[in-house]
Structure 1
Amino acid sequence: MMAKIAEAKVVTTDVFEKGSIQWKHFNIDTNSPSSPPKPLLIFTPTVPGAYTVIVFYHGFCIPPSYYCDLLSHIVSHGFIVVAPQLFCSLPLLECDEIKVAGKVVDWLVKGLQPLLPENVEAKLEKVVLSGHSKGGQTAFSVALGYVKTMLKFSALIGIDPVGGLSQCKASKTSPKILTGVPRSLNLKVPVAVIGTGLGPEKANVLFPPCAPKGENHVDYFNECKPPCANFVAADYGHMDMLDDETPGIIGTVLSKCLCKNGKGPKKCMRKTVGGLVVAFLRAQLDEHFQDFEAILHNPGLAPARLNDVKYIPA
């Protein structure tokens, strides 16, 4: 847990630019000798060292490859990211996505280390969970213990998490973890919620908002117990952390038509989200507070305009 924020202001941070650590990424399918429960996209440093592992769950029907620039930004600062391709199913349908998400965590115990470069060690004492959109809901669900895992968790980061298409009970994603009660989620780990200002707005008359009121980042943060942090990229939308190029019909519909997008360069959003992830984890896991304090004292350091910057210590 993080100590109380120091009074002295810190005005510099490097987290919004790519880090200096060299890295690579590769795909592993379910037919490989390591036999993961789902296909994986793995980002790893190639520089010898021991690195924290982040399990990242994608949004509804979004391939992990659409997040390459964001995830590589995080890895370049000294993390390993494992991004499974989970199901592509309607939120209205019950499925065992949470169960499979937990199996991916358990696979790390024996499956990850043999795939990493020589002298690169995966630190599995406590794993970080993260996810975007529906994947944020998945990360919260796994952290809350809706599936039992062999590994413990050290932190949770929701990137514009969404719990359903609306507040109507029938449209909520299972499991229905949001209660409407402030500080009711018993997560027992530090949490950061990164929201978008345009997520609750409609892109057009044909589709509902991608991150509707009552089921979005506001509600997740309000229900988190301390320590918890909140950041909102005011001028960006629900899909603006994806790569500039998202090929295929799914990429066109999800990133360009279904959700309202910001007018600024998406690279600014990716740098902002990546930098917030790095700063938060450095503070919570390594007691390196400088970057996190700098952002709290001066949110204008971020490439994207941040609103509702809050940190509630334990």
Structure 2
Amino acid sequence: METRLVFPLVMLLGILLKSNLVLPTPVSESDHSVLEQASVFETGKFHPVTSDVRTPSSCLPPRPLLIVRPEEQGTYPVILFHHGTACWNSWYTDVLKFISSHGYIVVAPQLYRWILPWPSPQDELDRAAKVANWLPSGLRCALPENIEGDLQNLALAGHSRGGYIAFALALGLADVALEVNFSALIGVDPVAGRSKKNQLEPKILHDESCSFNISIPVAIIGTGLGNTSGIPCAPDGVSHTEFFNECRPPCSHFVTTDYGHMDVLDDNIGLDGWVARAACKGSGWGVSRDPMRKTVGGIFVAFLEAFFKGNHKEYNNILQKPNHFAPATLDPDPIPNKSEGTSCSGLSAMSMPAFAF
């Protein structure tokens, strides 16, 4: 009986080797305790609730808002999240609910409608500044009595062009004076224009290491497929690599190798969402985007837990062993990290060649 099993097993092994099938890497016994600590990639203990706040209302936000917050009573850090080009804020519901389940309030303004004409980048930036200034008085009105937003721990974030808006806002480039202070900044595949020579105005990338006058911690999450296809949605020269190059420490850079620019969006986003997604190279038909959303959400949570609450363990674990933790594959070669105390003069520029859009 044992002899009859040998030949099929040998054949099976030969097929696996010939097909270059990548088998899961075994986790050593010593790694199991570490893996159990990386809970940021699992749904949190809080129950997220979504609500729309639109003008006119008693709270009078400058722009329509999607607010995602825990159902449970408490005081929670706040994230101001900006949507990408031609996107609706509701298309990010899954990833925002995942983040909120870990004890965060996310405020996602709709800075303009999906249809043309879109506002200029400066107008969009000024609208974002007005929403930020609304938070101290307006957010209290928009939340239940037993839920408080902790604006001492206020993060700024955005995807695609919304990532550019977040960085430009942190750089103080809005024509509207900011009345709030941000404590952290996160860019999800941020894009600053069509090419290095055709940047959005106000221009923020200057092809100079550590040029950003931003003193708060920064995390940047890029995509491996964002700069591919006939019309890249995150072209080289104005995408995540350049943003990281121009950040000052502390700043971390992650790249999801097998996902594209729009893979952070929800699955069910209607016909207009399908059109927006189809314009960008993505993970392909039949491939789940859930690992991408959980990876983005988990990095948000680990980063903010580290810099808001001093809980650095999970964030450091991800930096040191990214693919033992994240559901999506992160580029391990390596994940660059400009840690506090690093001298900018000792950092080499990592700018990419300009891309002709």
TM-score clears 0.5: yes
**What does residue 6 of structure 2 align with?**
none
Measure how far apart 1:124 and its partner are: 1.0
1:282 aligns with 2:305: yes
Measure how far apart 1:289 and its partner are: 1.1
Alignment of 1:134-213 (within 5 A): 134-147=161-174, 148-169=177-198, 172-202=199-229, 205=230, 208-213=231-236
Contact 1:24 1:44 in 2 (8 A): yes
1:58 aligns with 2:61: no
Give the direction of change, closer, same or farther, for the CA distance of 1:275–1:90 in structure 2 (3 Å limit): farther
**What does residue 262 of structure 1 align with?**
283
Measure how far apart 1:60 and its partner are: 0.4
For residue 292 of structure 2, give the secondary structure of its aligned residue in structure 1.
Answer: helix
TM-score by length of 2: 0.81
Contact 2:112 2:119 in 1 (8 A): no
Q: Which structure has the higher relative contact order (CA within 8 Å, separation 6+)?
A: 1
User: 2:154, 2:282 → 1: CA distance?
Assistant: 32
Contact 1:10 1:293 in 2 (8 A): no
Measure how far apart 1:293 and its partner are: 1.5
Which segments of 5 or more consecutive residues in structure 2 lack a partner in the other structure? 1-30, 341-357
Query: Could you report, residue by residue, the CA deviation over 1:175-222 in whole angstroms, capped at 9, with x for unpaired residues?
Result: 1101110111011100000000000001xx4xx100000000000001
Contact 1:92 1:173 in 2 (8 A): no
**What does residue 273 of structure 2 align with?**
251
Contact 1:66 1:242 in 2 (8 A): yes
Which segments of 5 or more consecutive residues in structure 1 lack a partner in the other structure? 1-7
Measure how far apart 1:164 and its partner are: 0.6
Give the direction of change, closer, same or farther, for the CA distance of 1:218–1:94 in structure 2 (3 Å limit): closer
Which range is displaced more, 278-287 or 301-310?
301-310
For residue 53 of structure 1, give the secondary structure of its aligned residue in structure 2.
Answer: strand
User: 1:64, 1:139 → 2: CA distance?
Assistant: 15
1:292 aligns with 2:349: no
For residue 96 of structure 1, give the secondary structure of its aligned residue in structure 2.
Answer: helix
Which is greater in Rg?
Answer: 2
Q: Which has the higher helix share?
A: 2
Contact 1:191 1:227 in 2 (8 A): yes
- After TM superposition, the runs of 4+ consecutive aligned structure 1 residues lying more than 4 A away are 88-95
User: 1:90, 1:304 → 2: CA distance?
Assistant: 36
Contact 1:91 1:164 in 2 (8 A): no
TM-score by length of 1: 0.91
For residue 206 of structure 2, give the secondary structure of its aligned residue in structure 1.
Answer: coil
Measure how far apart 1:310 and its partner are: 2.4
Contact 1:139 1:156 in 2 (8 A): yes
The counterpart of 1:310, out of the listed 315, 336, 339, is: 336
Contact 2:70 2:101 in 1 (8 A): yes
Alignment of 1:22-101 (within 5 A): 22-88=47-113, 93=120, 95-101=122-128
Letter in 1 for 2:329: R
1:219 aligns with 2:274: no
Which range is displaced more, 117-126 or 23-32?
117-126
Query: Could you report, residue by residue, the CA deviation over 1:24-49 in whole angstroms, capped at 9, with x for unpaired residues?
Result: 11101111111111000001112111
**What does residue 13 of structure 1 align with?**
38
User: 1:295, 1:57 → 2: CA distance?
Assistant: 25
Give the direction of change, closer, same or farther, for the CA distance of 1:87–1:261 in structure 2 (3 Å limit): same
Measure how far apart 1:90 and its partner are: 6.9
Give the direction of change, closer, same or farther, for the CA distance of 1:10–1:162 in structure 2 (3 Å limit): same
